Amino acid sequence: MEAEGLDWLLVPLHQLVSWGAAAAMVFGGVVPYVPQYRDIRRTQNADGFSTYVCLVLLVANILRILFWFGRRFESPLLWQSAIMILTMLLMLKLCTEVRVANELNARRRSFAASRWCSCGPVATPSRRPTSC
């Protein structure tokens, strides 16, 4: 008799726990990449992050989505794959932008350094040559 009286509480509680577990499955794989994304953006340095990991996870999640068309599985896992693909694409975009910017800065520095010899500026048409 008491179990019937608590159904009004247990059924919504069970539904809430199910939704919470599904949300944890969907977003649980993305959570570790949030601090990495913020750290790479803050430091503008992506040296410690492997883009091969992104490649492997992209391939795995794309294969999981393709498998879903042949044999259906739980929808939270499908959503997890879609969100992981988006996350990996964002991480790759950020790493590519940071690495390209760092390479351009390094080239600019080496170009600026090559315009100076050890004792002063290199001769240009507007300047007299220096004797080194």
**Which parts of 1-121 are beta strand (E)?**
116-117, 120-121
Q: Say whether pTM exceeds 0.85.
A: no
pLDDT tens column, 24-81:
999 999 999 999 999 999 999 998 889 999 999 999 999 999 999 999 999 999 999 9
Arithmetic mean of pLDDT over the chain: 85
Q: Report in angstroms the alpha-carbon separations of 128 from 39, 51, 52, 125.
A: 48, 49, 52, 8
